[in-house]
Chains A and B, each alone.
Chain A
Amino acid sequence: MPIKTSLAAHGIACQRGGRLLFADLSFTLQPGEGLLVTGPNGAGKTSLLRLIAGLLPLAAGSFASGDESVPLPELCHYVGHANGIKSALTLQENVAFWVDFLRGGDADLDDALAMFGLEGLKDLPAGLLSAGQKRKLALLRLFAAPRPIWLLDEPSVSLDAASVKVLDKAIARHLAQGGIAVVASHTSLKVKFAHELALKRETVQ
């Protein structure tokens, strides 16, 4: 069971390539709450997720999590556009690496594999998977090591309808267990998000 934590942003700003994407953004997520981030291309959805994951530096403001003993990035799972899977390793090896590297316990990975319909492909090199299957493998990282904050960037891209449903269910279960999910998505996921954040694209002069 993942540790519960909250996530608060205080007046954060993000600057990319000299352009201010957004400024003075604040939100607070209690355990079990989700945040849906919407907005047009280039509005800063990915940047927001990468800020939370500590992959981008904050231009202003700060984040606070309920658990100060662990750095925020280590509470987060970031699944972005790049899947982060190694094509020369088999599915099993990819997942085993995440379990070891991200300090996962003995999570019920077989369940997660079966959930996404990947159980028969365990010994296949990940490079041979289809785009959708690679995506599902990348999402398996969420189950390889329990972490309270899920940062999902367009998680449903290249997934088929059945898999989107599975993903929906997984996010809902994560929230029900007291986790936090920040999801940037164009397509409508059916999960009820407690908060919604619509980023606007600043008009470039």
Chain B
Amino acid sequence: MREAWALFRRDVVLAWREGGTIGTALGFYLVVVAITPLGLGPDLNLLSRIAPGVLWVALLLAGLLSADRIFHNDYEDGALDVLATGPLPLELVAGVKSLAHWVTTGIPLALLAPLLGLLLNLPIESFPLLVLAMLAGTPAVSFVAGIGASLTLGLRRSGVLLALLVLPLYVPVLIFGVATVSAASVGPASPWPPFLILCALSLASIVLAPIAAAAALRTALR
């Protein structure tokens, strides 16, 4: 437990110190959402109808932007060798590092979402559920990104490949995330069934993704 906590704390501190990680993701999210109304014109009804989709798509892209940092830096500077010879199984290492990515990227993005919802004329009543849905869905984003990050280790310009690998896996998160927020903003269905599926997706990826990521890490170390 002490080892996992040390690793988690280290990754969170590094995300703050190395700069760029959190700031870039938040800035990207803000810019993508802010330019959407410019492209679509000032039709408030249209904007509020598509707001859930825009917010989710932009969140997935912003989350991906920093995904390669989950393992890449540790791979480059040899710290991954230390992590691999440590007492924690590699699955747990992958899980803890993905969790740190969620805390440093997923949570800030989810908390920024209501502010961006204002830009898209999303009804204010739906804000609590927007944040809730994003907090519930972003663990899946970070943990699945961990699989992509470990698979693309050691490749040059791995970012694009990572996006190609991971974005299709985000489709369920996107569908049920948008369904939750849409139901909350325009109705008429209840938002809870898609919300619960979103939770299930996150829980499943928390359990399964580290296993896949660890397998990819073992290959990358060879």
Contacts and interface: CB of A to CB of B under 8 A. Distances in A.
A55 B167 CA distance: 30
B85 A103 contact: no
Interface of B: 2-3, 5-7, 10, 13-14, 17-18, 73, 76-88, 221-222
Contact of A53 (B7, B81, B88): B81
A176 B191 CA distance: 68
Nearest to A53: B85
Given A100-B6, A101-B7, A85 B79 contact: yes
A54 to B, nearest CB: 7
Contact of A88 (B18, B84, B85, B87): B18
A83 B3 CA distance: 20
A76 B7 contact: no
Interface string A86-121: 111100010011101111000000000000000000
A101 B81 contact: no
A102 B17 CA distance: 23
What's the dominant secondary structure at chain A's contact region?
loop
Interface centre among A85, A88, A89, A103 (most CB of B within 10 A): A88
A-B CB proximity, top 4 nearest: A82-B78, A100-B6, A84-B78, A88-B17
B218 to A, nearest CB: 8
Given A55-B221, A57-B222, A89-B10, A76 B85 contact: yes
A98 B17 CA distance: 19
Given A77-B85, A88-B13, 17 more contacts: A54-B84, A55-B81, A55-B221, A56-B222, A73-B85, A82-B81, A84-B79, A84-B81, A85-B77, A89-B13, A96-B6, A100-B5, A101-B83, A101-B86, A102-B82, A102-B86, A102-B87
A77 to B, nearest CB: 7
Given A56-B222, A88-B18, A97-B6, A103 B79 contact: no
B162 to A, nearest CB: 22
B219 to A, nearest CB: 10
B66 to A, nearest CB: 15
A127 to B, nearest CB: 10
Interface string A5-16: 000000000000
